[in-house]
A and B are shown apart, each in its own frame.
Chain A
């Protein structure tokens, strides 16, 4: 069937803020789909609350609403924009749920809007546990014995009939939120209670546990004519029991014979056909490793994390094809964008092996439980491609940027054989390293398999890597041995460590013997057809096929690697925009990145894509082939910045701000000198390497002090220390990893935090806008609510900030972007830090001011000036909207993580509230972040002594909103003494009913708990916060945030007016 011409205007729903389980993959899917729709002449109206995404750019859609993904707001937008269709299958679970809600409410029918991409009936059949089970039974597809329960008693009763352990899966949640495996009744009650609460419909599936079976996924596509294909299958190295998002995944499957492969493939097609899905779909299977028995685990009737991975792994653009199918096209009418010779109605054939590894946040949340379960914990992932599994695994681990690059990177050598056997039972992110140590200790494949259920084939691959490490350590390094190690993608530095030969010598030996990386193309068809898309991966020992191009100008753009807390999708936004800007200026663009979830690794963003680790050696191999005229590092976050020095050594020119100036901003002494020269004050401080030095500086400055490593992003390891003991502790944490760079100790100043992003052309600067944080200094800027334009600063402060920004940009010879954080303390401005590169706020400020600063910065790098680009230098005129960026956290996914806000960033994403007035913007921002209050109008307050006076005001506001306030002893007394009625409750350690009973009673809206600064060690506060988060209660740890929430609630119930960002212009 050709295109349905009745479709003229489509509303695309995005997935909202990035949280664990729903990340950048939906920006990739949404962006690709919007571009695909526009290509067909469709008017695209987009709604997504996440301002950091590429999809919310006015280049991507015709109307862009960065509005809360809330049913009320969506209805307003539909009434205003009158789309004829809605495409809900590209915005993850969030988008799908909203599409369903709109359809179920009858609103779509009323307004003559059609759900395209898939029907409500299909979504229901796939998502509703009972309906799904019934459908599978009808077509004879096996599912594990299960029952949907609505209460704990039912769950216990059913489990008694099928036996423990059981898996619990709440309906309609993302990333398996609230799910888990229960081995006994106590665990069942705990997980089930939590799961029932988290499920949108209050239902949890209790299921026979098939943990230990192989987990296999199929990505399938179907069009309205019933044509079905599978894009790719994937096998999890971690058997069933670990969420697929947290598993190491390999594509295609490695241990399935054709019989097993085709059995599951046929099943997947059978299912997609019965569900009548049109577009992409994902089917997950558990396969008994000892028979042909299998179970369908679940079906996602939409594009997903796995489909992003499958798209990148095969070159088949699932989201793009899904969008075309939604318009009515059949698969055989859609061109294969890679070969341009074949059509979308085929199945990609790989002639390589793909490995995906999750990026887990345990380096950020050191108290969180590392155990991997059916509840996803990863914030992002890396992918690598090679012609052998060993090489793909080696490349993937070093792409993680977690200080791992060999099978020895996590050291378990101290453990005895017995201890290793015990350790093998622990399922966490270090499992492959434990297996490596087990192999070294002579533990058999059988024993390892018995405990881990990991397939022998994968164990053998780890063994091959361990054997190679042993050989490198014990044998003489011959050319053949070196060649074999490189074939497995051992990096030079690891070979150097093992052979004790210096890395430079090894590099030399490689070049002398022509042991260099060759690049192969991802072409969807295993070379059967000629392909035109230069999408490459490295291998050793093969012929290079990267086509040599000699354009007039060629730029290398370094991406930002896996999504992690502190370095999110914002940097992909910057990399992509920079690439587009270079292309517009006639440059050939080459992107290097390893994140399968992102837009930057879509094969049609740059002229060439290298899917490779972002290490100096891997980048050098690309440089050797491409010989770029320059590289840009300022857009790819810390990942790219870190490569600056190495690139210069390779003779690659750094475009924009020079490396030594980047250094000057990071190096304490150099930077102090610049501040002195420019007469800009900052908090006093010093540079240290050891705890003793740190204590000395701290005592000289007086506590509290801010302790932080240099050259990090997202305030990693940053803490406010109040005592010598805390210094000892924090220095210990920071120094867990070898530090090449010194640690900074500064006097902690408390004031308003102000942030600017600016473009500097070497002479003039352009500041699109000044942002002010709602939380005072001490809370990381990424975790603060940020307001544009800065609402409370004086004219004098504003002018000082503009002046300081100009002085700093000039002193650092910035060409391109600069980000500066200031403190406004009693109308005096101090500098906190300067980053001569893109920042987290760049997409946000670009969108709300209408000034495309990445584009401008790129053009400035290429020699334009701010004036020549048509902008007046200085602070741009204020836009007539208030835009508030709200951080969004994923604490409920990370058992045991400390949630209190501090100098180290903890949020995973952000959303925007934009409106004509401040209060509406604030309300929208909270709504977008999922804070929808009031519900029960009951709250708990427990604040530290220093905050008590201020807490009175906060309490009064909530009391006026009708809240009943519970408080622990001293807080209750203080509030009551000050005329606010507060009910005293017992602490956790005291008898029931205590604060914990109250939280678990599901009648509490909000907990305000301000922990003692500098790390609250009392189990009480920690337990209150964790339990609040885990039972879905909003928990605030800053009174500033609490005041903002009160203000938002005071102005609630007003009409929300959607704002089309595409129409925001800067005068």
Chain B
């Protein structure tokens, strides 16, 4: 069956349908990772979006146990080609079945490079996935323009508190759409990790006397999370060490008076160079964000840039003055992507006064 991807600017791509046939409107973003399609699919930060994989051969090693959350989050999935058979010793099934089972509208056989170039040149756009050959583009475009990802954090956060047992430092992880490997990275270092739903109050977290607080990644526009920002402001005012990743990093910046803005097409992939401004070292990082902290709006008495993106100079991390708080835009937990910055978890543990 044919599937169509109709963009806000009127461009239509035609491919083969895979997975769900339901009509889906979402924000279309591209990811340049060459491996890790399953980690991408199960990253809650993609809630409200559809992902285009720029690497053309997807599904080669099938579905493995490498899920970053309980289920896949993108509503649409665009690839050049899906492998006919999966091949890997851990493979448990095909990506075709996985998309079907999880009701994701997939399209294969389209020129993903041409699509990526459009998104690069015109910026991230919304799009409709449909199998209806008689689509009416004039009716669709206004609907596309209206679409906004909205409060997606509420959709992706856990419903209730859970605990990963450990003998080391006690970390409260605020789940804004956390990838599993954040909790795992801490737990692997001995930490006891208590995972809280996104709308937990600061009071509840602080009352549990954690040694440190971890703010996770998550989907959507950070400014759609005003109630969470208010709570984070309270966490900032406590003296508990805080480490934040991606959305958490943006929310902390907003909570302390800085601003964020939407990027033209974001950073999504596993090859972005970030420079640690303290040492001059450059690390290759895993990234997935469409918004960024505006460095010009930083109050230099509150926070200063700690990492910068070597390619486009955008902010990649902040360290908070007089506070045990540091935050990064990229993903030290990797999965998918390079593990070069996993040392930041060790830094966090040191900050909590702990041994690794």
A351 at the interface (CB under 8 A from B): yes
Residues of chain A within 8 A of B275, CB atoms compared: 332
Most A CB within 10 A of own CB, among B80, B90, B282: B282
- The listed residue (B32, B39, B111) touching A525 by CB distance below 8 A is B32
A535-577 vs B: 1/0 string, CB under 8 Å?
Answer: 0000001110100000000000000000000000000000000
CB-contact partner of B60 in A332, A350, A351, A457, under 8 A:
A457
CA gap between A388 and B113 in the complex, in Å: 13
Contact A520 B113 (CB under 8 A): yes
Chain B interface helix/strand/loop/mixed: loop
C-alpha gap A507/B45 in the complex (Å):
48
Asked if B338 CB lies within 8 Å of chain A CBs, one says yes
A262 interface residue per 8 A CB criterion: yes
Return A390 CB to nearest CB of chain B, in Å: 10
The stretch of A223-231, A396-404, A635-643 in contact with B is A223-231
A252 lies within 8 A of B56 (CB) = no
Partner of B89, one of A230, A269, A291: A291
Does B20 interact with chain A (Cβ within 8 Å)?
no
Asked, given contacts A351-B113, A527-B116, whether A258 binds B39 with beta carbons under 8 Å apart, the answer is yes
Q: How far is the CB of A385 from chain B (nearest CB, A)?
A: 11
Contacting residues, chain A, for B116 (C-beta < 8 A): 351, 526-528
* Contact residues in A for B57 (Cβ distance below 8 Å): 254, 353, 388-389
Contact across chains for B271 and A388 when beta carbons are under 8 A apart? no
A990 CB-CB contact with B under 8 Å: no
Q: C-beta contact mask, A440-473 vs B, less than 8 Å → 1, else 0?
A: 0000000000000001110010001000000000
- Nearest CB to that of A388 among chain B residues? B81
Contact with A along B326-356 (1 / 0, CB 8 A): 0000000011111110000000000000000
Residues of B within 8 A of A1027 (CB): none
Whether, in the assembled complex, B226 has its beta carbon less than 8 Å from a beta carbon of chain A, the answer is no
> Is B146 in the interface zone, CB < 8 Å from A?
no
Q: Are B269 and A349 in contact (CB-based, < 8 A)?
A: yes
A528 to chain B, nearest CB (A): 6
| B99-117 interface bits toward A, Cβ cutoff 8 Å, 1 = contact, 0 = none | 0000000000001111011
A678 in contact (CB, < 8 A): no
- With both beta carbons as reference points, the residue of chain A lying nearest to B274 in the complex is identified as A345
A257 near B64 with CB under 8 A, answer yes
Q: Do A262 and B61 touch (CB < 8 A)? A: no
Smallest Cβ distance from B125 to chain A, in angstroms? 15
Report the Cα distance A266→B338, complex, angstroms. 7
> Is the Cβ of A255 less than 8 Å from the Cβ of B310?
no
Residue from A259, A520, A530 in contact with B64 in the complex, judged by beta carbons closer than 8 Å: A259
B79 to chain A, nearest CB (A): 11
Within 8 A of B (CB), among A187-204: none
Chain A 261-272, CB-CB to B under 8 Å as 1, else 0, gives 110011001000
Using A258-B66, A387-B80, A457-B85 as known contacts, say yes or no to A343 and B311 having CB atoms under 8 A apart.
yes
What is the chain B residue whose CB lies nearest that of A343? B310
| Given A258-B39, A457-B60, A542-B111: A252 and B310 interface contact (C-beta under 8 Å) | no
Q: Once the chains bind, are A528 and B66 in contact (CB under 8 Å)?
A: no
CB of A529 within 8 A of CB of B311, answer yes
Is A346 an interface residue, CB under 8 A from the partner?
yes
Q: Provide the B68-83 mask, 1 if CB < 8 A to any CB of A, else 0.
A: 0000000000001101
Residue from the set A226, A342, A343, A347 with the largest chain B CB neighbour count within 10 Å: A347
Is there contact, CB below 8 Å, between B339 and A457? no
Contacts of A331 in B (CB 8 A): 282
Q: How distant is the Cα of A291 from the Cα of B311 in the complex, in angstroms?
A: 37
With A225-B281, A290-B89, A346-B272 already in contact, the answer to whether A257 and B35 are too (CB < 8 A) is yes
Considering the complex, give the chain B residue whose CB is closest to the CB of A518: B111
Tell whether B98 is near chain A: CB-to-CB under 8 Å: no
Give Cα A779–Cα B112 distance, bound, in whole angstroms.
55
Contact A351 B271 (CB under 8 A): no
B218 contacts A by Cβ under 8 Å: no
Interface string of B116-131 (1 = CB under 8 A from A): 1100100000000000
Q: How far is the CB of A470 from chain B (nearest CB, A)?
A: 16
Residues of B within 8 A of A269 (CB): 340
Nearest neighbor of B283 in chain A, beta-carbon distance: A227
The residues of A that contact B111 with a CB separation of less than 8 Å are: 541-543
Q: Is the CB of B284 within 8 A of A229?
A: yes
Q: With a CB–CB cut-off of 8 A, which chain B residues contact A225?
A: 280-282
Task: Report B-chain residues with C-beta under 8 Å of the C-beta of A525.
Answer: 32, 271
Alpha-carbon distance between A253 and B85 when the two chains are bound, in angstroms: 16
Q: A526–B54 contact, CB under 8 A?
A: yes
The one of B112, B114, B120, B334 in contact with A528, judged by C-beta atoms closer than 8 angstroms, is B120
Q: Is A139 an interface residue (CB 8 A)?
A: no
Please name all residues of chain B whose beta carbon is closer than 8 Å to the beta carbon of A226 when the two chains form the complex: 281
Q: Judging by beta carbons under 8 Å apart, are B114 and A255 in contact?
A: no
Contacts of A528 in B (CB 8 A): 30, 32, 54, 116, 120, 269
Q: With the chains together, A448 CA to B90 CA distance in Å? A: 20
Residue of A nearest to B85 (CB): A460
Q: Which residues of A contact B269 (CB under 8 A)?
A: 349, 526, 528
Residue from B30, B80, B271, B337 in contact with A262 in the complex, judged by beta carbons closer than 8 Å: B337
B270 within 8 A of A: yes
- Contact yes or no, B60 A255, CB < 8 A: yes
- Interface assignment of B185: CB less than 8 Å from any CB of chain A: no
Q: Which residues on the A side are within 8 Å of B310 (C-beta)? A: 332, 342-343, 345-346
A341-362: CB near B (< 8 Å → 1, else 0) gives 1110111111111000000000
Tell yes or no: B236 within 8 A of A by CB: no
Contact check, B281 vs A351: say whether CB atoms are below 8 A apart: no
Give the docked Cα–Cα distance between A266 and B55 (Å).
21
Docked CA distance A387–B58 (Å): 12
B271 lies within 8 A of A543 (CB): no
User: From residue A395, how far is it (CB to closest CB) to chain B in Å?
Assistant: 15
Contacting residue for B271 out of A266, A347, A460, CB 8 A: A347
Chain B window 46-69, contacts with chain A (Cβ cutoff 8 Å), 1 for yes, 0 for no: 000000001111001100101000
B54 with A341: CB separation less than 8 A:
no
A953 within 8 A of B: no
- Residue contact A347 to B281, C-beta cutoff 8 Å: no
- A456-B87, A460-B85 as given contacts; A388 in contact with B56, CB under 8 Å: yes
Tell whether, in the assembled complex, residue B335 and residue A348 are in contact, meaning their CB atoms are under 8 Å apart. Answer: no
- Which of A253, A258, A341, A352 makes the CB contact (< 8 A) with B311? A341
Task: Find chain A residues with CB under 8 A from B64 CB.
Answer: 257, 259
Does B166 reach chain A (CB closer than 8 Å)?
Answer: no
Q: Does A289 contact B (CB under 8 A)?
A: yes
The residues of A that contact B222 with a CB separation of less than 8 Å are none
Chain A residues in 8 Å Cβ range of B60: 254-255, 457
Contacts of A457 in B (CB 8 A): 60, 83, 85, 87
Chain B residues 288 to 342 lying within 8 A of chain A, measured CB to CB, are 310-311, 334-340
The CA of A346 and the CA of B32, in the complex, are separated in Å by 13
A1 to nearest B CB, angstroms? 9
Nearest-CB residue, chain B, relative to A525: B32
The reply to whether the CB of A256 lies closer than 8 angstroms to some CB of chain B is yes
The chain A residue with its CB closest to the CB of B272 is A346
Contact assessment for A262 and B90 in the assembled complex, using a CB-CB cutoff below 8 Å: no
Closest chain A residue to B275, Cβ basis: A332
- Given A345-B310, A349-B54, A528-B269; A256-B114 close (CB under 8 Å): no
Sample 14 A-B pairs with CB under 8 A, ordered by A number: A225-B281, A254-B57, A255-B88, A258-B66, A258-B337, A266-B338, A290-B89, A341-B311, A348-B271, A350-B34, A351-B112, A353-B56, A460-B83, A525-B32
- Residues on B facing A (Cβ under 8 Å): 30, 32-36, 38-39, 54-57, 60-61, 64, 66, 80-81, 83-85, 87-90, 111-114, 116-117, 120, 269-273, 275, 280-284, 310-311, 334-340
Residues of A within 8 A of B (CB): 225-230, 252-259, 261-262, 265-266, 269, 289-291, 330-332, 341-343, 345-353, 387-389, 455-457, 460, 464, 520, 525-530, 541-543, 545
| 17 more A-B residue pairs beyond the given contacts A226-B281, A529-B311, with a C-beta to C-beta distance below 8 A | A252-B55, A254-B57, A257-B35, A257-B90, A258-B38, A258-B335, A262-B339, A266-B339, A291-B89, A330-B282, A349-B33, A387-B80, A527-B116, A527-B117, A528-B32, A528-B120, A545-B113
Nearest first, the 3 closest Cβ-Cβ pairs linking A and B are A258-B36, A526-B54, A347-B271
